[in-house]
Amino acid sequence: MRTVAFAMSMLAATAFPVLIASAEEDHHEHVTEAGGLRIIHPWARAARQGQNTLVFMEIDNEAGEDVLESAETEAANVARIVGVTFKDGIAATQEIGAIDVPPGDFALDPAGLAIELVGLTETLEQGGEFELEVHFRNAGELHLHVDVEAANATQHSHAGHSH
Amino acid sequence: MNPFPLVLATLRRNRFTAILFVTVIALAVALGIAISAQERALRLGSARAADRFDLIVAAPGSQNDVLFSVVYLDPTAVELLSPEMTAAVLNGGRADFAAPIGFGDNFNGDPVVGTSAEFVDHLSRGLAEGRLFTRLDEAVVGALSPNRVGDRLAIRHGHADGLSGNDADAAADAHEAGEDHVEAEEEPGHSHVDVAVVGRMKPTGTPWDRAVVVPVEYNWFAHGMGTGHLPGETRIGAPYEAAPGVPAIVIKPENLAAAYGLRNRYRTTESTAFFPAEVLVEIYAVMGNVARIMSGLTLAAQVLVVAAILAGILALLDLQRQRFAVLRALGAPGSFVFAVVWLYVGTLIAGGALIGLPLGWGVAAIVSRLVARETGVAMTAQIGIAELALVGALLCVGFLLALVPALLTYRKPVVEALR
């Protein structure tokens, strides 16, 4: 099912060559751009196969209003957009669905929004990376290389670097 | 053979030693239980106190300082949001309400906080008595405030940065007359503006329970910053057409998606926005580390106590070796002597642990009450799985260690012991 979904997303990507042509990644793959959106420093916390983890990123939206609709990856059974909540000081997540991405700087961060990967199909080791597709209503599909940071990390190890 | 009568007889024969051993074990266990239960009470109490403060927007700077000022009313010098940013946040939409918060004044040592009637209603989940304020010179008091509905309070201004020396009537008259600025008199740090108490909040479990809550317009007006409304306007509450800068704004977002959207929108170079829980979680991480270190130390102390007691028991049993040897000579099996010694030592450890558990809970309950009285944050110490696990672990280790004197007594040759 996951493979089918991934194959379909690849098919969709081929069907929209304009989006793909405008999508570019810089040499160190910390930044991905498409349709006026720049995604900087996508990262996730290390976790074992079968566990869940969260993906965070900074989004620089130089286009108009957009909507982050969904995400998918081969590294997990399900990828869903969640908000991080705290009950009695314990962190949990709650599914939010599609989220508005207004023009300007927008962040998925450890105390706010995140993409939760449910049921990892592989162990994510610190220092590794994996691929994630994120789908925006206007900017289309973006193909990200997500860096894996420590299991208790609170930010990307390159946070603060300008790209 | 039933070993229990002999175990009881041994305990009775050495009752003072037994009481001493049990007391020392109980105190060591109580210390560990108290630290563990108190840390959790502090964590839950402070988290629940912040529950009604959905999203806080403030000037860039220390979120900890803002949190402690707004939720726990422990005022520190926090920067003000600019008037432009204040207006943008107060009128930003996607919220059930956006309530400005002003603090810094006090009445008889209790904090005086300025905000909107909507936020008072939200925090208190409806009032216990009276009504919400509808005029600039009215106030609602917290559940634990000594002030009563109907009292008139002459409020002292803690800061000398605004107006001082005007009385309630002058302030109210000026407000009614639509004046939005009153000249400050030169009496640094003090002014007396009476407000009438018109309502009392329900208990919130926060330091707001002792506060005098006034309309934020009162803070602005009393400090010579206008009323937050257009000249001639005498009403209070949103919308604030001419709000000056405020230290913080509490927002109740209209839904979860709006909460994250607004948090993101107001994290700019001119403002910061945060959920209280996200700041508390960082504090808990530090607190948890400290608690873990202290728990480690108390666990080490418990092990040392048990080890010292075992040494004492070995000495005690050595004195009684002849009695056990006589028992063996009379035909008692080795396993009986083994069971008597093991149960004797195990009873001392179990007794200490089981007395230590409620003792520790009692200590934590007293400390919680003292901390709650000091900070205003309601907290209840409870025994949870962590504390039961601690006692369970000590019992397991204790019963294992009790095998040592039992084995030593069991293996000692009868003839040698009889000498």
Beta carbons of A99 and B260 less than 8 Å apart: yes
Beta carbons of B264 and A112 less than 8 Å apart: yes
As a whole number of Å, the end-to-end CA separation of chain B is: 26
- Residue A17 Cα, gap to closest chain B Cα (Å): 32
**What is the Cα–Cα distance from B31 to B28, expressed in whole angstroms?**
5
**What is the Cα–Cα distance from B230 to B147, expressed in whole angstroms?**
32
Q: Is the ipTM of this complex over 0.85?
A: no
Beta carbons of A96 and B257 less than 8 Å apart: yes
Helix axes B385-401, B15-49, angle to 10 degrees: 160
Identify the residue among A57, A86, A94, A113 best suited for mutation to test binding to B, counting B beta carbons within 10 A and taking the highest: A86
The values of phi and psi at residue B201, to 5°, are -80, 160
Q: Give me the amino acid identity at A160.
A: G
- Closest chain A residue to B279 measured between Cα atoms? A111
**What is the Cα–Cα distance from B182 to B164, expressed in whole angstroms?**
9
* Chain B residues touching A107 at Cβ < 8 A: 264, 267
Do the beta carbons of residue A119 and residue A61 sit within 8 Å? no
Question: Which pLDDT tens digits describe chain B residue by residue (419 residues)?
Answer: 788 888 898 888 888 989 999 999 999 899 889 988 998 898 889 888 898 999 999 999 899 999 999 999 987 888 899 999 999 999 988 999 999 999 878 888 899 999 999 999 999 999 999 999 999 999 999 999 999 999 999 886 654 333 333 333 444 444 444 444 444 343 444 445 689 999 999 999 999 999 999 999 998 888 888 888 888 888 888 899 888 989 999 999 998 889 999 999 999 899 999 999 889 888 888 877 887 888 788 878 888 888 888 888 888 888 777 888 888 888 888 888 889 889 998 999 999 999 999 999 999 999 999 999 888 889 989 999 988 988 898 889 889 988 988 888 888 777 777 76
CA dist list (Å): B418 to B143, B338, B365: 74, 17, 52
Do the beta carbons of residue B11 and residue B313 sit within 8 Å? no
DSSP class per residue in A72-114: E-TTEEEEEEEEEEEETTEEEEEE--SEEE-SEEEEE-TTSEE
Q: Kindly state the DSSP code that residue B225 receives in the 8-state scheme.
A: S
Where along chain B do its domains lie? 4-46+282-418, 55-274
CB proximity list for A89: less than 8 A, separation 6 or greater = B43, B44, B46, B47, B277, B280, B281, B284
Whether B47 has its CB under 8 Å from any CB of chain A: the answer is: yes
> What domains sit in chain A, N to C, each tagged with a CATH number?
2-149 (2.60.40.1890)
Beta carbons of A112 and B281 less than 8 Å apart: no
DSSP class per residue in B332-355: --HHHHHHHHHHHHHHHHHHHHHH
Beta carbons of B281 and A111 less than 8 Å apart: yes
